[in-house]
Amino acid sequence: MTKQSITNNIKIPNKNLEILKKNFSHCFDKDGNFDFEKFKQELSKNEEIDFSNESYGMDWLGKSYARLLASDGATTFLKEDEKFNLKQENKDSQNLLIKGDNLEVLKHLSNAYYEMIKMIYIDPPYNTGSDGFVYQDDRKFSVEELSKLAGIDEDKAKRILEFTQSKSNSHSAWLTFMYPRLYIAKQLLKDDGVIFVSIDDNEVAQLRLLMDEIFGEENFVAQFPRITTIKGKNDEKMIATSHDYVLMYSKLEKLNRNKDFSSISRYKLEDENGKHYVEATLDSVSLPYSKKLDFEIEIDGQKIKPIVYNGKKTCWRWSKDLVEFGIKNNLIVNKNGRLYTKTYLDLEIKKNNGKYELVKKDVGGTYRSQILLDYKFSNNEASRALKELKIPFDYPKPVTLVKKLIELIPQENGIILDFFAGSGTTGDAVMQINADDGGNRKYILVQLPEKIDPKKNKTAYDFVKNELKIESPTIFDITKERLVRAGKKIKEDNKKSKEPKDLSNVDFGFKVFETTPIWEDYNFDAKEFDQQQKLFDESKLTKEDIKTILTTWKTYDGIKLADELKEINLDGYVGHYFDNKLYLVDKNFTTKNLKKLLEEIDVNKDFNPATIIAFGYHFESKVLREIAENVISYANKKQIDIDFITRY
């Protein structure tokens, strides 16, 4: 039986250390300390590796503290908004909106979504001096504690604590704020994932260096200038600034060499026209039926018509004259009576003077770095879109911008994360682009419940208080409402369209979670636990509290937030099960429940718990021992592995 004090010790997984221990175990001593000199000697056997004495890096007051924040444990639980999530439009959704400090949320997501995110887009504070950014931190360290934890002298620790507790907006404060968030974000990205960060002149130089350090200088892809306004914004230096930037970094260096940021490995085939792949069907089940596009095609000696899908006729995506051009130029492939079209790396079909022809893609298939200088990506466009939704919000990012960034990573599924969600632009963009191309992308948005100041933004304050009927208005309330309205508008616009699409497979719902503080007296330490010592009064826990513990634990254990735990009836005692993990969190577990548990494992083919986790405060010690002994005995008898964990 293993004891764990996970609840107030949730940290990002250190996979790099695991890799080192697995592949260089001989470089660790008996106390677990890493011998770097031995490691260097091992790698030096490879003549391609040169350990240079010269180095180039970035340093600032607070860097050691920022590293500590990245590895420090979370100070919150994750709680579900059950009432909202059980609504018909949300109950099966995989989209997430999470209320809370994004650093806390990222730590909670770090296990369940480790290397699962395809794309990250964030629009962090620009630190302009007028955007309201100040460094705020509720963690309390003494000078001595910080000195010891961060490995710095007490004088430096004192200076760091002074600025972290003084609401500073210096470059050092901004970098200290950004470092741990970007560091954890990198752990969440898939190997072929990318991150986009909006920024302006105030911090772009610092951000480039910071991202070089975290993601690797070799993984820098582009710095896109983006038009913000035609008029420009005057400053004291007499230059009307009319653009900001979007930085793009990849997780791995190989993405830099991709011709169009998509996976070139898809273009495995080659013919007289060049490299291509064949995936898109010529018939379409998503397009509305058109009699004009329902005709017979003769190819390879066969006569082929569009398929019948679920009892309904479909039609071709191409017109008769385009099909004739396609057959003549070997652009259509017959696979067992189903027609597919070729997608070329360097070529595309264009119609000039009424005739179709194959032409080179613009700039050989790459994107120009000035693609975001079109007025449709400006802040004016963003304001117009929110006005259509009747939602007041200052300085939103345009949906067109986020959609374009998503298009740079042409994949019709995957998770897109935005942990500075603001008005919810990223969620809106994901829904729109899925509606456009039938994709199955999912979003995770994180927004701080930042209070709206009625003196600075009366319109937004009155909107939330009077129209949404929320007593204490926050930006999170605007994010949530925008997502609801955006989904409805996409569906309404589609219905009004001359050629409406089938949007039944597009996920317009979302689930809401939030961070809540860990209870003040919840301070169990497994090493110091004494059954006679009452560290926490579990009798005051409500059903909602237990559900919150379950939500927090399951995410720590690698189960996605949107995945529901299944209830298992163990002769009157309810367990919670998913992905080979069984949680026993309620009181009054008895011998008859244990008997039923072992019976279920024995006969229920869909019930195979590899790990059984019990909430220690709700079990007497003798019951825990009885469960552990019987589970171990049963597992040995059946020659299977079942871990029993007591968690506090």
Residue 11 lies in a domain: no
Pair 112, 254 in one domain:
yes
Q: What is the pLDDT of residue 53?
A: 60
C-alpha distances in Å from residue 223, one per residue of 184, 244, 369: 22, 10, 7
Q: What is the pLDDT of residue 258?
A: 40
Res 489 pLDDT > 60: yes
Res 599 pLDDT > 70: yes
Pair 245, 385 in one domain:
yes
Give dist(CA 592, CA 582) in Å, integer.
17
Rg (CA), the chain: 28
Q: What is the CATH number of the domain that holds 496?
A: 3.40.50.150
Do residues 192 and 338 lie in contact, with contact meaning Cβ atoms separated by under 8 Å? no
Give dist(CA 380, CA 346) in Å, integer.
34
Residue 60 lies in a domain: no
Apex CA 591: angle with CA 631 and CA 622, to 5°?
A: 75
Q: What is the pLDDT of residue 413?
A: 86
Query: What would the pLDDT profile of 117-134 be if each residue is shown by its tens digit?
Result: 999 999 999 988 777 787
Residue 79 phi/psi, 5-degree rounding, is: -120, 140
Residue 133 lies in a domain: no
Residue 168 lies in a domain: no
In the chain, the number of structural domains is 3
DSSP notation for 215-246: H-GGGEEEEEEEE--SS-B--TTS--B-EEEE
Pair 284, 237 in one domain:
no
Apex CA 218: angle with CA 217 and CA 224, to 5°?
A: 75
Query: What would the pLDDT profile of 542-588 be if each residue is shown by its tens digit?
Result: 999 999 999 999 999 999 999 999 999 999 999 999 989 999 999 99
Give the mean model confidence (pLDDT) for residues 257-274: 64
Q: Whose CA is closest to 97, among 558, 443, 560?
A: 443
Give the mean model confidence (pLDDT) for residues 49-53: 60
Residue 317 lies in a domain: yes
Domain ends where: 514, 537, 556? 514
Pair 231, 374 in one domain:
yes
Pair 458, 421 in one domain:
yes
Res 44 pLDDT > 90: no
Give dist(CA 369, CA 361) in Å, integer.
16
Percent of the chain residues past pLDDT 90, beyond the cut? 57
Do residues 377 and 90 lie in contact, with contact meaning Cβ atoms separated by under 8 Å? no
Query: What would the pLDDT profile of 159-183 be if each residue is shown by its tens digit?
Result: 888 877 777 888 999 999 999 999 9
Q: What is the pLDDT of residue 257?
A: 41
Q: What is the pLDDT of residue 241?
A: 85
Q: What is the pLDDT of residue 262?
A: 46
Q: Whose CA is closest to 509, among 430, 439, 564, 566?
A: 430
DSSP notation for 460-507: HHHIIIIIS--SS-BHHHHHHHHHHHHHHHHHHHHHHSSS----TTS-
Pair 473, 530 in one domain:
no
Residue 409 lies in a domain: yes
Sorted by sequence, the CB contacts under 8 Å of residue 456 that are 6+ apart come out as: none
Pair 566, 622 in one domain:
yes
Give dist(CA 207, CA 127) in Å, integer.
12
The 3-state DSSP composition of the chain as helix, strand, coil percent (nearest 5) reads 40, 20, 40
Give dist(CA 38, CA 40) in Å, integer.
5
Bridge partners for 575 per DSSP: 568
Domain ends where: 485, 514, 543? 514
Pair 432, 318 in one domain:
no
Query: What would the pLDDT profile of 186-197 be if each residue is shown by its tens digit?
Result: 999 998 899 999
Pair 588, 630 in one domain:
yes
Query: What would the pLDDT profile of 377-421 be if each residue is shown by its tens digit?
Result: 998 888 888 999 999 998 889 999 999 999 888 677 899 999 999
Q: What is the pLDDT of residue 389?
A: 94
Bridge partners for 270 per DSSP: 275
Pair 333, 380 in one domain:
no
Residue 112 lies in a domain: yes
Domain ends where: 514, 544, 565? 514
Domain that holds residue 325: 264-365
Pair 416, 285 in one domain:
no
Res 644 pLDDT > 50: yes
DSSP summary character for residue 166: T
Per DSSP, the three-state class of 516 is: strand
DSSP summary character for residue 253: G
Res 529 pLDDT > 60: no
Res 229 pLDDT > 90: no
Give dist(CA 215, CA 186) in Å, integer.
7
* Least confident span in 35-44, 206-215, 280-289: 35-44
Sorted by sequence, the CB contacts under 8 Å of residue 328 that are 6+ apart come out as: none
Residue 126 lies in a domain: no
Pair 577, 635 in one domain:
yes
Q: What is the pLDDT of residue 189?
A: 95
Give the mean model confidence (pLDDT) for residues 413-431: 96
